[in-house]
Chains A and B, each alone.
Chain A
Amino acid sequence: MAEEKFTAIVVGAGPAGSTAAYLLAKEGHDVVLVERGTTPGSKNMYGGRMYSHALNRIMPGFWEEAPVERPIARESITFLNGDQSVSISCGNMSWAANPFHSFTLLRAEFDAWLAAKAEEAGALLACGIRVDELLIDSGRVIGIRAGEDEMLADVVVAADGVNSILAQKAGLAKMFAPSQVATGVKQIIELPAETISQRFELEGNNGAARLFVGDCSNGMQGGGFLYTNKSSLSLGLVINVGELQRCQVKLCDIMEDFKSNPHIAPLIEGGEVAEYSAHLVPEAGLAMMPQLYGDGMIVAGDAAGFVLNLGYTVRGMDFAIASGEAAARTVMEAKARNDFSRQGLSRYKELLKQSFVLRDLEAYRKAPDFLENQRMFKAYPKLVTGLASKLFTVDGAPPVHLMKMVFDQIKQSDISLIQLARDGWKGARNL
């Protein structure tokens, strides 16, 4: 057995793990941050944007030194249907000024920076190590085993990502159902910075975030995204795995189809693919949340299913960072009382409820169900694009007033008026 005993072993140097390790080390606790990649961030990928609020509370003005790409000044959602598309776009210049609302960033660089902050604060960073087992004594987690090596600690913080191998080994998490997760695929497409600014109508280094719904997911529950980095685009798709179980087209081909979609192709024209990555996204919110703590263990970040997709905002990193913060505070309080039992760590859930993490997930708990509605991915994009196309068409045909145009379009769609009213009511209440 190893002689040294840490206060905390944090598994996974992503935003949750590194935040927890940083805060614990800053307060003088012995903490080791274990990462399976040879450098922190080398195993991590996401869509492309982080909302700033959570990290700004912990490290005010972090953007002064953190490797961020572009502050987002323009948001848009585009409905795709064949030749037709409709975009709703919102620009807000104040988003791209202090205190910057959100940034695009690349995880290999950013996560390495955040882990280095933890290391600077005094955490021991151990890379290239896969944790194989939890050490359990009388039902209580007392450490980890990686290959031949064992490490002991008062508490293990499992921030090991969406596949949550450790939470499952500890019996805190069950294997999720296919419909509870989505597969995200992404290509990094390099383009000159000036081309990106011109193409997306961005001033200086400002950035754009675009979401797509309709054709891009082949009618399946999911959507597309595009984020502008400094001199590359993050373009990708997120598709529910329950749907992928029935899909007869290869996911990598759906992605290439998306790139050649007539509404997407001009945006990426002339670009060079620099990386292709994939990742699971926990999508079911509270329905897939594991037990967040056990004897000697806390679960944080993606491993706890802390992601919130409302269709117009997609959040994960801010949840990860705030859950890492709550984990660190819980460990500090438990250390003061020397009680790392399940009861002693129950404070974690209270802190998450006081923060936005569980507050927001609870407020939007019905959103995942609402977004499972098949009409969102086929019928509505068709309805919206058809209606807008008619509105903007001048071809000498007899005039049709707006009211009739709308009702005609609904009649032609696969949606009944009652369904439309119900979906509208549900959407307005749950999103």
Chain B
Amino acid sequence: MKRLTIEQLLGVNKFVVDDEQAHIKVNKEICSRCQPKPCTFACPASLFSIKDEELSFDCAGCLECGTCRVVCPNAGIAIEWQYPRGGFGVHYRYG
């Protein structure tokens, strides 16, 4: 089977993206001081990346697992985490 990129993988999923409210917010100041940035490896949807030496995060494509909330070395401070508003987010058709 051909190797798939994360964009291709997320592309097969159904999402209802919430353009008004981000359900996960990162504190860029705290994150700028975090050396390991494990979220950039551990997020299954690979939504955390480093752009222009700054942590960049995009809610669209979130699989709502909660890994970032736990893997974060500044858990509870750097990432403000909640589920998307009712009706928004990933919609699993198989599960």
Contacts and interface: CB of A to CB of B under 8 A. Distances in A.
Nearest to A234: B94
A414 B65 CA distance: 36
Interface string A158-198: 00001101000000000110100101110111000000000
B71 A175 contact: no
A36 interface: yes
A268 interface: yes
Interface stretch (A206-214, A244-252, A357-365): A244-252
B70 A41 contact: no
Given A275-B13, A278-B63, A37 B91 contact: yes
B3 interface: yes
Given A175-B76, A274-B94, A275-B93, A43 B64 contact: yes
A278 B95 contact: no
A147 B21 CA distance: 13
Nearest to B90: A43
A274 B75 CA distance: 33
B33 to A, nearest CB: 17
Given A45-B92, A277-B92, A277-B95, A245 B71 contact: yes
A282 to B, nearest CB: 11
A256 B3 contact: yes
Contacts of B75: 175
B12 A280 contact: no
What does DSSP make chain A's interface, helix, strand, loop or mixed?
mixed
B44 A36 contact: no
A183 B41 contact: no
A187 B10 CA distance: 11
A36 B90 CA distance: 11
A268 B1 CA distance: 7
Contacts of B16: 38
Nearest to B67: A183
A363 to B, nearest CB: 27
Given A183-B65, A275-B12, A250 B87 contact: no
B50 interface: no
A109 B94 CA distance: 7
B66 A277 contact: no
Contact of A277 (B1, B38, B63): B63
B38 A247 contact: yes
Contact of A46 (B40, B84, B86, B95): B95
Nearest to A160: B83
Contacts of A269: 1
A111 interface: yes
Contacts of A106: 94-95
A129 B41 contact: no
A246 to B, nearest CB: 8
Contacts of A265: 1
B91 A38 contact: yes
Contact of A163 (B1, B42, B69): B69
Contacts of B42: 183, 241, 244-245, 247, 251
A45 B13 CA distance: 13
Interface in A350-386: none
A411 interface: no
Interface in B1-34: 1, 3-4, 6, 9-10, 12-13, 16
Interface in A23-49: 36-38, 41-46
Nearest to A164: B66
A245 B38 CA distance: 5
B65 A271 contact: no
Contacts of B69: 163
B9 A276 contact: yes
Contacts of A111: 95
A244 B10 CA distance: 21
Contact of B93 (A108, A163, A252, A268): A108
Contacts of B6: 250, 252
Given A130-B83, A165-B82, A183 B44 contact: yes
Given A43-B90, A279-B63, 15 more contacts: A44-B92, A45-B92, A108-B92, A108-B93, A183-B44, A246-B36, A246-B38, A256-B3, A256-B4, A271-B1, A273-B4, A274-B93, A277-B63, A277-B94, A280-B65
Interface of B: 1, 3-4, 6, 9-10, 12-13, 16, 36, 38, 40-46, 63-67, 69-71, 73, 75-76, 82-87, 89-95
19 contacts: A41-B92, A42-B93, A43-B91, A44-B95, A46-B95, A106-B94, A129-B86, A162-B66, A175-B75, A184-B65, A232-B94, A247-B41, A250-B41, A251-B41, A251-B42, A259-B1, A265-B1, A275-B93, A276-B44
